[in-house]
């Protein structure tokens, strides 16, 4: 029974850890391949080919945690029917594409990404899904856990321009990236802020940036110096005040002792100390040595002669011995 309980506990812990790890997978970037513009420079720049050298639409997933997790057995789909809560898990699996197990590429380390080709050719390997992404239409991608019940992540994608992708820039922020910004299996590149670009143009050598950084550092150091200077002064001031209060309390106690020596305690009601001492001494003398026994000390018991202790009463009469003639 103990072994069975141990095995069940281990399985429960393993399933819990696996479920927690699955929630660390997030959809990261989506690219829709447009066959009509394969010859354009934009498509060639953003094109990402599979193991067979074929270009196709792809979906990128990222492990956002700092631990290694395996995405095997999870499901991907664009079919909105899977959102039906009344649908059973086995029925929902028929509407989705499952990521096979056994491929080491599905084990993602911290912040690692994996790209799946949405070309409908599952016979080409683990990284190929059983559906295609629609061209020129909006759709939603759903990522389900291996139990086909828990929805891990989803993203709605509008119709994308040819050669562009839809990428996750922040936790809940997505952005359409042009062909030169498309980054399969790599961190997404967001559009740069115009102010930053303007600052780079005005300060190409970074002199102003250096001065600003040095100014910030020295300003922080000055503030720290002022803070610790004021803090040290305040602590010294508090210590001096504490010493003054202690000395003042000692002086007050000494004054009270002197006053008590002069006038006695509060119970003496202002009587001189000499008179108070004489009264105490007299009381002690009377208590320890001045008292005496009020009786005369004469014994009242008088001796009376009785015969109860006469020895003659204690012996028998001595027999008389007669001699024969």
176 in a structural domain: yes
**31 and 112 part of one domain:** yes
Element (H, E) at 194: helix 194-202
Quote the pLDDT of residue 252.
81
In a shared domain, residues 25 and 52: yes
Band of pLDDT at residue 22, cut at 50, 70 and 90: confident
pLDDT at site 194:
57
Residues 132, 233: one domain? no
Q: Both 51 and 173 in a single domain?
A: yes
Shared-domain flag, residues 68 and 131? yes
| Res 193: pLDDT | 53
pLDDT digits (tens, 9 = 90+) for 25-67: 999 999 998 876 655 565 655 668 888 888 889 999 999 988 8
CATH number at residue 123: 2.60.40.1260
Which residue in the block uniquely carries the two structure tokens 């027999």? 319
Close Cβ partners of 140 (under 8 Å, ≥ 6 residues apart): 78, 80, 154, 155, 156, 157
Pick from 51, 69, 56, 166: nearest CA to 110: 69
The reply to whether 202 falls in a domain is: no
Residue 148 and residue 275 in one domain: no
104: in domain: yes
For residue 20, is pLDDT > 60? Answer: no
User: How many whole angstroms separate alpha carbon 128 and alpha carbon 126?
Assistant: 6
Mean pLDDT in residue range 133-155:
93
Do 126 and 256 lie in a common domain? no
Mark which of 164, 191, 218 sits at the end of a domain.
191
For residue 325, tell me if it sits in a domain: no
Q: What count of other Cβ atoms lies within 10 Å of the Cβ of residue 240?
A: 10
| pLDDT > 50? residue 17 | no
Where is pLDDT greater, at 308 or 208? 208
Residue 63 CA to residue 28 CA, distance in Å, equals: 9
Helices marked H in 23-98 — which ranges?
A: 41-46, 89-93
| Partners of residue 167 on adjacent β-strands | 29, 175
pLDDT at site 74: 95
Is 77 in the same domain as 211?
Answer: no
Weakest-pLDDT range from 69-78, 265-274, 281-290: 265-274
Mean pLDDT over each residue of the chain, to the nearest integer: 80
Tell me: do 172 and 236 sit in the same domain. Answer: no
Residue scoring higher pLDDT (196 or 71)? 71
Asked whether residue 291 is assigned to any structural domain, the reply reads: no
Give the chain's domain count: 2
Mean pLDDT across the stretch 12-22? 53
Domain extent for 58 = 20-191
Torsion of CA 15, 17, 18, 23, to 10 degrees: 130
The reply to whether 65 falls in a domain is yes
The pLDDT, as a whole number, for residue 13 is 45
Same domain, 30 and 157: yes
Burial of 71-84, coded b for 16+ CB within 10 Å and e otherwise, reads bbbbbbbbeeebee
pLDDT at 321 over 90: no
Give the per-residue pLDDT at 16: 46
Give the pLDDT confidence score for residue 258 in this predicted structure. 66
Q: Is the residue at 269 inside a domain? A: yes
Are 232 and 133 in the same domain? no
Q: Are residues 182 and 217 in the same domain?
A: no
> Looking at residues 217-240, what average pLDDT do you find?
93
- Residues 257-264, mean pLDDT to the nearest whole number: 63
3-state DSSP assignment of residue 199: helix
Can you tell me the mean pLDDT for 234-250? 89
For residue 282, tell me if it sits in a domain.
yes
Sign of the torsion formed by the C-alpha atoms of 21, 23, 26 and 32: positive
């Amino acid at each position: 029974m103990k072994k069975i309980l141990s095995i069940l506990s281990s399985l429960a812990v393993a399933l819990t850890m696996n479920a927690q790890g699955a929630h660390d997978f997030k959809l990261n970037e989506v690219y829709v391949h447009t066959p009509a513009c394969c010859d354009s420079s934009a498509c060639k720049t953003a094109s990402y080919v599979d193991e067979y050298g074929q270009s196709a639409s792809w979906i990128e997933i990222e492990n956002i945690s700092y631990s290694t997790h395996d995405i095997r057995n999870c499901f991907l789909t664009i079919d909105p029917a899977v959102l039906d809560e009344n649908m059973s898990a086995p029925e929902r699996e028929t509407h989705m594409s499952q990521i096979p197990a056994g491929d080491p590429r599905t084990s993602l380390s911290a912040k690692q990404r994996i790209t799946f080709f949405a070309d409908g050719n599952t016979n080409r390997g683990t990284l190929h899904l059983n559906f295609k992404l629609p061209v020129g239409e909006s759709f939603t991608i759903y990522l389900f856990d291996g139990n086909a019940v828990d929805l891990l992540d989803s993203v709605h994608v509008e119709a994308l321009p040819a050669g562009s992708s839809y990428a996750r820039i922040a936790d809940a922020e997505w952005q359409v990236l042009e062909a030169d910004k498309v980054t399969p299996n790599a961190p997404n590149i967001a559009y740069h802020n115009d102010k930053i670009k303007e600052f780079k143009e005005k300060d190409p050598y970074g002199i102003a940036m250096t001065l600003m950084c040095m100014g910030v550092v020295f300003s922080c150091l000055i503030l720290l110096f002022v803070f610790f200077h004021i803090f040290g002064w305040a602590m010294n001031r508090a210590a001096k005040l504490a010493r003054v209060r202690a000395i003042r309390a000692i002086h007050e106690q000494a004054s009270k002792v002197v006053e008590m020596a002069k006038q006695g305690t509060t119970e003496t009601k202002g009587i001189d100390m000499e008179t108070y001492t004489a009264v105490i001494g007299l009381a002690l003398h009377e208590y320890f040595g001045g008292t005496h026994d009020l009786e005369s000390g004469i014994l009242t018991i008088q001796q009376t002669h009785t015969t109860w202790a006469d020895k003659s009463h204690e012996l028998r009469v001595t027999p008389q011995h007669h001699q024969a003639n």
